[in-house]
Amino acid sequence: MEELNILNLLIILFSAWLGGSAAKKLGYPAILGELIIGIIIGPALLGLLEPSEMINVLAEVGIILLMVYIGMEINFRDLGKASWPGLLAAIGGFIVPFALGYYTIIYFGGTQMAAIFVAIAVAVTSLATKSRILVDLKLLNTRIAYVLMAGALISDTLALVIFAGIVSYVDAGSINTLGLVWVAGKAVLFFVFTALAGLYLMPLLGRFLMKSNIHSRTLHFTLILIIVLGFSELAEVAGLHSILGAFMAGLFIRDGVFNRQISKDINHIFHDVSIGFLAPIFFVSAGFNVTLEIFQTDLMMLIVVTLVAMIGKIFGTALFYLPSGYGWREGIAVGTGMNGRGAVEIIIAGIGLQMGIITSEIFSILVFMAIFTTLTVPLFLTWTTTWLRNRNELVLQESKSGYIILGANPLGLYMAKKLQDKDEVVIIDSNREMVAEAKKQGFNSMYGNILKEETMEDAKATEIGTFIGVTGNSEINFLAAQIADDTFYIPNKIVLVSPSETGADVDMLDKINATSLFANKTELEPWAIKINDGDFEEKTQTIKEEISTREWVKKHKGEKNSILPFFIINTEGIKRPFRYNDSIAEGEKVIYLV
């Protein structure tokens, strides 16, 4: 057995970090930078490193753990967020480029197996590619975002199912009718067994650990690794690839099987070990297998495959989107967002190369196709969504809804009153008298300690879209927002920050993806007294030119903090709390108190 060369490993990890960091700064997924840096330091250009047995072993472990993480990130309930027409568009974004990719390789004289591998590669889409872009473009709460999510889940799942069939076919060698039945039977048995184990046996294990009061994260991680390796070995026994077993294991290591906090911790561990250590080894070393000779020998095939991937994805999505009634323009926008490729495509292509199904030339074409198509996503998605926004056709669609407001004080009650006409609002406070008074006024309020998980569970926090901490104690607001993020995955966290808080405390908001209420440090008591006494006036301003909330505050702030911006109302009449790190579009209204 070849010894592990520590220097080579150091070079790979350092290079992966450089390439990944550069890609992320440009708004692209890290794997794009890792692939490119692998091409640069590999045999294709500088020739500093080349494939080795030990690097290949670490890379294979890396993709197994990465597939676990990808499986853990998928929740099939999310498919429903896009609606059935949206799912049709996602399927169109898979089927059309799949067919075009297949016939392109057949046209250029490739084998059927190679054609299917290329078809899979051009049909998949990358959720990792889009997530950062959706955040940057402020699209996470739009219908487009959920259709894109559905597209990624469907394409990755379809790709892996088809890939499973190919691996079984190749593994069986010569195929007759009985052989086909045997190959299909083993694959079906694998999926049935892993699904039953995931749905019934793993929850039993989770309940046993909880009843036994076992909360060791290390023990949970070890048990999950055993499950992952067991599923991976079952996949190999069934004639499939180990990544299918890892993917299936990841699908069922979800919230509700194990303790919620431990599940999130384990998710972070798999993220760090795979994406932070082993997976970069795979993507950098994948670059070692790329040849630049294709730009001389197979340039036409590279151009055609790339164009087929882009045109098939964008127009295939738009075509299937038409029956939804949401318009061809939104279909085009969804298609541009789905045009990026990522981890699953490169993993499948790499395995195809290892199995001898595709050549290094076709592998190189797929890598460059992934790079080129991914580079187009921010540009095309920006154009198309701006187009929709300017036409007032960019539709908002929250996955979770409703509010938890911490603080039954006059400020919290005033906010709840304005929000509860269209959304469910739950008010939580540790002061029994204030809770009782809120109930008398008709509010859905409950007594409890917000820092205890049971209180949030009673408020059905897992179904809530926004947490607002509006007590006079900023530290309590921060800690409650952290629980909302860590344990209950509430997407929006907004907290009142007192002027007495230090910058270090405010920096904590970034770590939990929270923002400050009113886009400014605000003292609770003076405004609570004003609202309680009715000594205020509510005013509305229509915005004529887009402006950030922070700039609005700077522009309107009086010397004695005499203005308090409360809500932003969009052109459809939907309210959202006025907070930092938001922008107010032309035509939207700001409700503020003076």
Q: Which domains does the chain have, with CATH numbers?
A: 53-390 (1.20.1530.20), 403-593 (3.40.50.720)
Amino acid at the residue 100: L
Rg (CA), the chain: 26
Of the candidates 388, 373, 375, 315, the one whose C-alpha atom is nearest the C-alpha of residue 142 is 388
The DSSP-derived string for 374-424 is HHHHHHHHHHHHHHHHHTT---B--SS--EEEE--SHHHHHHHHHHTTTS-
φ, ψ of residue 546 in degrees (nearest 5): -55, 140
Token pair 């005033």 is at which residue? Answer: 414
pLDDT at 398 over 70: no
CB 501 within 8 A of CB 474: yes
Amino acid 568: pLDDT: 92
Amino acid 300: pLDDT: 94
Dig out the tokens for 103 from the structure. 């016939």
Place 446 in a pLDDT band, splitting at 50, 70 and 90.
very high
Dig out the tokens for 145 from the structure. 């975002």
pLDDT at 110 over 50: yes
Which comes out higher in pLDDT, residue 499 or 228?
228
Dig out the tokens for 367 from the structure. 């890598």
Long-range contacts of 448-456 (CB under 8 A, 24+ apart): 450/406, 450/476, 450/480, 450/483, 451/476, 451/479, 451/480, 451/483, 453/260, 453/483, 453/487, 455/428, 456/404, 456/483, 456/484, 456/487, 456/488
Amino acid 469: pLDDT: 93
pLDDT at 170 over 80: no
Amino acid 407: pLDDT: 92
pLDDT at 91 over 90: no
pLDDT at 251 over 50: yes
Amino acid 176: pLDDT: 55
Place 504 in a pLDDT band, splitting at 50, 70 and 90.
very low
Of the listed ranges 251-255, 375-379, 431-435, 514-518, the least confidently predicted one is 251-255
pLDDT at 202 over 60: yes
Measure the CA–CA gap between 247 and 239, rounded to whole angstroms: 16
Q: What are 292-347's pLDDT values in tens digits?
A: 999 988 899 999 999 999 999 999 989 988 887 778 888 898 888 888 787 778 88
**What value does the mean pLDDT take over residues 258-265?**
74
Measure the CA–CA gap between 277 and 574, rounded to whole angstroms: 44
Strand partners, 492: 466
Amino acid 129: pLDDT: 47
Place 410 in a pLDDT band, splitting at 50, 70 and 90.
very high
* Distances from the Cα of 26 to the Cα of 19, 276, 379, 384, 490, angstroms: 11, 19, 12, 20, 28
Residue 68 class from Cβ within 10 Å (0-12 exposed, 13-18 middle, 19+ buried)?
Answer: buried
| Residues sharing a CB contact under 8 Å with residue 49, sequence separation 6 or more, in sequence order | 8, 11, 12, 41, 42, 288
Q: For the chain, give the longest Cα–Cα distance.
A: 86
List, edge to edge, every strand of the sheet that includes 564-569: 538-542, 589-593, 564-569, 575-577
Long-range contacts of 412-419 (CB under 8 A, 24+ apart): 412/468, 412/470, 412/471, 413/438, 413/441, 413/443, 414/531, 414/566, 415/468, 415/470, 415/566, 415/577, 416/443, 417/443, 418/566, 418/567, 418/575, 418/591, 419/575, 419/577
Q: What are 175-190's pLDDT values in tens digits?
A: 556 666 776 788 788 8
**What value does the mean pLDDT take over residues 450-472?**
86
Dig out the tokens for 479 from the structure. 């800690």
| Residues sharing a CB contact under 8 Å with residue 531, sequence separation 6 or more, in sequence order | 410, 411, 414, 593
Dig out the tokens for 539 from the structure. 């005013």
Which comes out higher in pLDDT, residue 470 or 256?
470
Measure the CA–CA gap between 487 and 5, rounded to whole angstroms: 41
pLDDT at 582 over 60: yes
The percentage of residues in the chain with a pLDDT greater than 70, rounded to a whole number, is 88
CB 56 within 8 A of CB 289: no
Which comes out higher in pLDDT, residue 24 or 123?
123
pLDDT at 447 over 90: yes
Place 55 in a pLDDT band, splitting at 50, 70 and 90.
confident
**What value does the mean pLDDT take over residues 40-69?**
88
Measure the CA–CA gap between 301 and 450, rounded to whole angstroms: 60
Token pair 């006059």 is at which residue? Answer: 410
Average pLDDT of the chain, as a whole number: 83
Measure the CA–CA gap between 187 and 132, rounded to whole angstroms: 35
Strand partners, 495: 469, 516
**What value does the mean pLDDT take over residues 491-520?**
76
Residue 40 class from Cβ within 10 Å (0-12 exposed, 13-18 middle, 19+ buried)?
Answer: middle
Of the candidates 225, 220, 190, the one whose C-alpha atom is nearest the C-alpha of residue 205 is 220
Of the listed ranges 156-170, 295-309, 525-539, the least confidently predicted one is 156-170
Measure the CA–CA gap between 198 and 497, rounded to whole angstroms: 43
Place 429 in a pLDDT band, splitting at 50, 70 and 90.
very high
Place 78 in a pLDDT band, splitting at 50, 70 and 90.
low
